[in-house]
Amino acid sequence: MLNAISDLSELAGPPLWPQHAAPRPSLADVARYIEANFSERIALKDLALVAELSVFRLVTVFRREMGVSPYRYLNAVRVKKAQQLMRDGVPPAIAAIEVGFFDQSHLCRHFRTICGMTPGQFLANPDSQEKLA
């Protein structure tokens, strides 16, 4: 009986799924994608393609491994880039557009959530600029 089964498996050809799955790209690839494209609109399905995961699995794994959701990570990257631009003298309204926020109020809302202060307070306090760098 076992010989008959092994004969059938030989006739069937290669298995339908690989014996050893190829390693998936790491979440570092997703983070690099976000950091390279932060000023663009990034959809979860694009990130899922990079990670070779479903959208739902990506969000679960990303949050578990990185400590925040992909959306919060994207906003943190945008705020950090906006800080750099504002340190270089770019007005907050222009910095907001450059980093991918819709407008200055959108930047201010996320800036306050992430940094605990407004962009104006950040610019007015030289100590905070050094501390947040």
Q: What is the CATH number for 127?
A: 1.10.10.60
35 belongs to a structural domain: no
29 belongs to a structural domain: no
pLDDT value at position 127?
72
Spatial neighbors of 86 by CB under 8 A, at least 6 apart, are 92, 95, 119, 122, 123
Residue-wise pLDDT for 93-111, tens only, equals: 999 999 999 999 999 999 9
C-alpha 120/C-alpha 114 separation (Å) is: 14
58 belongs to a structural domain: no
Q: What percent of the chain has pLDDT over 90?
A: 69
Q: What pTM value is reported for the model?
A: 0.76
93 belongs to a structural domain: yes
10 belongs to a structural domain: no
C-alpha 50/C-alpha 44 separation (Å) is: 10
* Interval 50-79 mean pLDDT: 94
* Interval 70-87 mean pLDDT: 96
50 belongs to a structural domain: no
Strand, helix or coil for residue 125: coil
Number of domains in the chain: 1
pLDDT at 10 over 90: no
Where residue 8 falls among pLDDT bands split at 50, 70, 90? very low
20 belongs to a structural domain: no
| Domain hosting residue 77, numbered range | 71-131
pLDDT value at position 23?
45
84 belongs to a structural domain: yes
> Which 3-state string (H, E, C) describes 35-83?
HHCCCCCCCHHHHHHHHCCCHHHHHHHHHHHHCCCHHHHHHHHHHHHHH
